[in-house]
Structure 1
């Protein structure tokens, strides 16, 4: 949101922020972690997870024969997500930037409800 701007749909600040926040880049900067070109995450050379962006999330679900429509009513396109192999857990990561109150506030406040509603 640009300060004194007309709204999130008319600004690019959030998109710039999302472009600078990348899970693979972050993990590559951490000691003992490495993310390869297939977005596989290694810790001390052991495969520990896989990172997905936007539509790649659904390709992963399809590869596991998971029909996402059975669990959520609408296709979501997460900024980042990671599948952690050791505990068979999938984390969805949304990157938000905002200078004033608005829709991001609502998303953050209701995330727990949305998670439980699924």
Structure 2
């Protein structure tokens, strides 16, 4: 997806404050400032979510969004390192890289042979 125009942080802050303190529609303010209406609308929603501190089922706060991104990166790093551990030293774990169906098949075969899973 293509990235849109980057607006200076000061413009974002001032335009959000103007929307929150004014009775005018967001679209009107966006047009007057030369900002995309949807961009301004999403900035205002994010500012409102941040002010509320987030809520169950509501928009995610900026802090929560940053934490999610950090946790996703950490999860990806752990999965990569676990993948390397599974094939470390050229000895593959019997379950490394297997789909759930293949693991089930392996378990069934081992159970029939009487060997532990």
TM range (shorter): under 0.3
Identify the structure with the greater strand proportion.
1
Q: Which has the higher contact order (CA 8 A, sep 6+)?
A: 1
Identify the structure with the greater helix proportion.
2
| TM-score between the two structures when normalised by the length of structure 1 | 0.27
